[in-house]
Amino acid sequence: MTVKTNSLSAELFLQLYTSVGWEPPGIEQIEKALMNTVATFTAYDHDTPVGMVRLIGDGGMSFYIKDFAVIPAYQSKGAGTLLLNALEDYIKENIAPDWAVSLELISSKEAVGFYQKHGFEERPCDWDGPGMFKMIRGGSYEIQKLQQ
Ligand SMILES: CC(C)(COP(=O)(O)OP(=O)(O)OC[C@H]1O[C@@H](n2cnc3c(N)ncnc32)[C@H](O)[C@@H]1OP(=O)(O)O)[C@@H](O)C(=O)NCCC(=O)NCCS
């Protein structure tokens, strides 16, 4: 298996995203998100794309993992680990050697064990509260959804 950096198209994103059962946004929203992404990583078995992960962040202090998905037939075969290693190597290569930066995410219920194996700490903990989350919807979001 190999990992390609910054080669993920919106169409392939959509394919990999829906393969794990997630409800996707529209293609324009995906294109905008990819345009503003720090880096994408796509895993291939020969020519077959089998997984992806997206790195977003400010390049200085904070990075965030988004849309980590390995297609069901390839899960638990090492693709996720390859992708995560590529993402962490990318950060190390793109920050000053004397910097430390945070790498954060909200895990799916199923992936908690995977992230723990790779050194991520759970929140809340003794000194920190839980991660928090809110969806913000555009002014005509409900109308657009009704029309679809
Ligand atoms: C989570 C995910 C990205 C991991 O990718 P993967 O290719 O399956 O992971 P790997 O094969 O590299 O697994 C590495 C290790 O984690 C373990 N692991 C994998 N998935 C796990 C899970 N759901 N729970 C606990 N451990 C898990 C594997 O057993 C393996 O351990 P080992 O090397 O000791 O055998 C993938 O399973 C996936 O796409 N899941 C569905 C979508 C999802 O939940 N994504 C996370 C969004 S936050």
Three-state secondary structure along the chain? CEEEECCCCHHHHHHHHHHCCCCCCCHHHHHHHHHCCCEEEEEEECCEEEEEEEEEECCCCEEEEEEEEECHHHCCCCHHHHHHHHHHHHHHHCCCCCCCCEEECCCCCCCHHHHHHCCCCCCCECCECCCCCCCCCCCCHHHHHHHC
Give percent of the chain above pLDDT 70: 99
Ligand 1 neighbour 90 (Cβ under 6 A) = no
Give the pLDDT confidence score for residue 144 in this predicted structure: 73
CATH code for the domain in which residue 63 is found: 3.40.630.30
Ligand 1 neighbour 57 (Cβ under 6 A) = no
Tell me which residue has its CA closest to atom 36 in ligand 1.
70
Report the DSSP beta bridge partners of residue 41: 5, 53
Ligand 1 neighbour 1 (Cβ under 6 A) = no
Tell me which residue has its CA closest to atom 37 in ligand 1.
75
Domain of residue 116: give its range.
2-147
Report the DSSP beta bridge partners of residue 45: 48
Q: What is the pLDDT of residues 6-34, one digit of tens each?
A: 999 999 999 999 999 999 999 999 999 99
Q: What is the pLDDT of residues 69-124, one digit of tens each?
A: 999 999 999 999 999 999 999 999 999 999 999 999 999 999 999 999 999 999 99
Quote the number of domains for the chain: 1
Report if pTM > 0.85. Answer: yes
Distance 76 CA to ligand 1 centre (A): 5
